[in-house]
Amino acid sequence: MKKIVMKNPVVEMDGDEMTRVLWRQIKEILIEPFVELNTEYYDLGLKCRDATDDAVTHAAAEAIKEHKVGVKCATITPNAERVKEYGLKKMWKSPNGTIRAELDGTVFREPVTVEGIKPIIAGWKEPITIARHAYGDIYKASEFKIGEGESVVVTVGGESRAAADFKGGGVLSVMHNLDRSIEKFAENCFNYALEKKKDLWFGTKDTISKIYDGRFKDIFNRLYLEKYKERFGNAGIIYFYGLIDDVVARVMRSGGGFIWACKNYDGDVMSDMVSTVFGSLAMMTSVLVSEHGFEYEAAHGTVTRHYYKYLKGEKTSTNPVATVFAWTGALKKRGDLDGNAELSAFAANTERAVLETIEGGVMTNDLLPLFRKDGITPRGVGGEELLKAAADKLESFIRLV
């Protein structure tokens, strides 16, 4: 079989633990037999980040700006335990946080749906896409412990105000956001909604946070009226703004099928809820869209519990779907940007092969209790076995062409 050639590289960011194992398997079993893979490789595994004083993460972000398309494996964000476990020089920041801050884009997360797996919320007929603002708020905050008797006075533009009365000591977080970043977030959301022809919903707590959250509300509203209202009307879609708690209640009662724009923290939390409703964290794709480029990843972490079992030689069943879709997302985008239709078609066929394998009853254990399809008794397999079954299907698709 002649392999598909890539004109330009994809920035490949390797990661940690179980997903690092899956990463290699996905490449070897599902991609490299069919594609002359052209990547610029960065090892974001914790050991390499520590050895390079995290320079490798910054270099990867720069590379995405240069080549426009990246694919990232899940990585450990170290805490105190990890510092001990890996003997780290320091508690390095989240690589995702670093890359998001450098690219300043919006993260769109959408569940992968398969026939046979119904959402836990029966009313949700179609997937809900979460659009997460990927800059600022608590993710770029300076945090302080305030001791007994200490005080904090904030001075802005000549006006000084005591931050709070810290009697008995407490904590302080200084977070910020930028008009420019909120504007880009809004534009990314409006454009994505137009591209996908789906309604856009947005919620904040502007009744309590009149200045901070109020700014988000106002910027969205201004840009909508100035640039998007007419185009939304022509496309037959709506922009809906509400208070975040009201929006959450409406989302639960909805039929799905819209894009839900969320501030950074809301998007972090709500994307886990949405993916769980549609099946599993491992069935959620994630793409960071920015003016500098596109970065594809899985929404879940490094699946530590499975990795420790794997190290002991025990059988594991880790779902590779989200990581496969990160690769196919990146290859599809590379194909589209380069005018390489063969590569884009390969990516689409790979997704189809994986989904049809699951719909045919072969799946990882996390999906077994969710799967109901007449005439099919589902069989639980390991991640590697699922990839091999999908590769067989993929080969048959390609031979048919």
DSSP assignments along 356-396, one per residue: HHHHTTEEETTTGGGB--TT---EEE-HHHHHHHHHHHHHH
- When the beta carbons of 213 and 268 are compared against Mg ion, the nearer one is 268
* Contact map string, positions 49 to 88, toward ligand NAP, x by CB under 6 A: -------------------------xxxx-----------
Residues 337/24/94/266 CA torsion (nearest 10 deg)? 70
Quick check: 268 binds Mg ion (CB under 5 A)?
Answer: yes
Which 248-287 residues touch ligand NAP, going by CB under 6 A?
A: 281-282
Q: Whose CB is nearest to ligand NAP?
A: 301
Distance CA 339, CA 335 (A): 6
Minimum separation from the CB atom of position 4 to ligand NAP (A): 27
The span from the first CA to the last CA of the chain, in angstroms, equals: 12
Pick from 204, 318, 328, 340 the residue near ligand NAP by CB under 6 A.
Answer: 318
Pick from 10, 35, 259, 303 the residue near ligand NAP by CB under 6 A.
Answer: 303
* Contact map string, positions 349 to 388, toward ligand NAP, x by CB under 6 A: -----------------x----------------------
Minimum separation from the CB atom of position 385 to ligand NAP (A): 14
366 binding partner (options ligand NAP, Mg ion, none; Cβ < 5 to 8 Å by kind): ligand NAP
Q: Which two tokens stand for residue 241?
A: 């703004």
76 binding partner (options Mg ion, ligand NAP, none; Cβ < 5 to 8 Å by kind): ligand NAP
Minimum separation from the CB atom of position 35 to Mg ion (A): 31
DSSP assignments along 137-169, one per residue: GGGG-EEEEE-TT---EEEETTEEEE----TT-
Only segment of 92-100, 195-203, 271-279, 393-401 that touches Mg ion (CB under 5 A):
271-279
Of 324, 343, 302, residue with least CA distance to 384: 324
Quick check: 390 binds ligand NAP (CB under 6 A)?
Answer: no
Distance CA 69, CA 294 (A): 5
Distance CA 284, CA 282 (A): 6
Q: Whose CB is nearest to Mg ion?
A: 268
One-letter amino acid identity for 314?
A: E
Of 348, 330, 341, residue with least CA distance to 293: 330
Minimum separation from the CB atom of position 267 to Mg ion (A): 8
Distance CA 119, CA 189 (A): 25
Minimum separation from the CB atom of position 280 to ligand NAP (A): 6
CA angle 21, 393, 384 (to 5 degrees): 20
DSSP assignments along 172-183, one per residue: EEE----HHHHH
* Contact map string, positions 38 to 77, toward Mg ion, x by CB under 5 A: ----------------------------------------
Quick check: 16 binds Mg ion (CB under 5 A)?
Answer: no
| CB-based contact 215:177 (threshold 8 Å) | yes
Residues that bind ligand NAP (CB under 6 A): 74-77, 96, 281-282, 297, 300-305, 318-319, 366
Residues that bind Mg ion (CB under 5 A): 268, 272
